[in-house]
A and B are shown apart, each in its own frame.
Chain A
Amino acid sequence: MTSMMDILTVLLLFLLKSFVVEAEVITPAAGVQLPESTSRQDPPETVVIAINDEQVTVGDHVVAPVGIGNGDSLLIPALAAHLRTLQDQSRSLASRRGESAPIAGRITIQGDRDMPFQLLQRVMYTCNQSGYDDISLAVIQTS
């Protein structure tokens, strides 16, 4: 009995330690298989765009369904509109708080690893046009 207590105590302490240290800032979106990379930069806490087979999601909000990869224009209108709304919201929030600093415009893109490049290009272009210049691509660390 006491030996089982020992096991559980050690396990508990180990998990608590790793739980506290990690404090994962962004969670991988469902349905998205992130690509692997050797990058070691920490993920920042930002707006997150998740692109999977079916749709584009900003935060929890589904913005555009499948089929946005087609067409000639680089801009995705639904996504651009939503991002601009977000920008306005954060700007008004900052002004209400009394901060006058320009909004950094940071955004993280979580894309499925088999996603076509064209879709990535359109999403990045749309983000850029909507005021989000600082784009981070979420990846899984690998050696």
Chain B
Amino acid sequence: MAKGRKRGYRQLVEADLDIMPLMNLFVVLIPMLLLSAVFVELSVIDMNLPPADARAENPPPQSLDLSVTIDRARYVVKAQRLAPRIIERADAETADQELTTLLAGIVQQHPGTEDIAIVAQGDTPYQDVITLMDISREAGLPSISLAGDTAR
């Protein structure tokens, strides 16, 4: 920093980056993105209904006609050539597990079975029906039809 040098060189000024405006931007942008962030993932269960004008087909003679009737207290599994099985629903998790095992067993004994009918009461909660559809899918019965129990 000799006196003679000062005239020859431009003085280097330390440039201070002004980040306050950038911070302002972040303060606005981050809450907005946080609010629109997805913490719950949605998916769907597809159901294909036959067109309104189609008539009901007769099931093929070999088919099991597997059906699960659900009401508040129990699951009743019925099939063409098997005795009806009743699973008490006192404990939800064990009941679901038992039902999955039972259905998987039936599928194993009768390979080629894909259809199941879910018969629900008028006041069965939607969540129970969805859970039953999950159980059927897990047990290897992707083709599910819903029916209402109008006998009662």
Contacts and interface: CB of A to CB of B under 8 A. Distances in A.
Interface of A: 1, 4-5, 8-9, 11-12, 15-16, 18-19, 22, 24, 26, 28, 34-44, 108, 111-118, 120-121, 124, 127-129, 131, 133-141
B122 A41 contact: no
Interface stretch (B6-14, B45-53, B81-89): B45-53
Nearest to B123: A116
Given A12-B29, A15-B34, A28-B42, A139 B130 contact: yes
Nearest 7 pairs of A and B residues by beta carbon: A118-B122, A15-B33, A136-B44, A113-B127, A35-B127, A117-B124, A117-B120
A113 B26 contact: no
Interface of B: 19, 22-23, 26, 29-30, 33-34, 36-38, 40-52, 120-127, 129-131, 133-134, 137-138, 146, 148
A34 to B, nearest CB: 7
A55 to B, nearest CB: 16
Contacts of A134: 46-49
Contact of B47 (A43, A114, A136): A136
Contact of A36 (B19, B33, B127): B127
B40 A137 contact: no
A15 B32 CA distance: 10
B43 A39 contact: yes
Contacts of A1: 19
Given A12-B33, A133-B48, A121 B146 contact: yes
B129 A38 contact: no
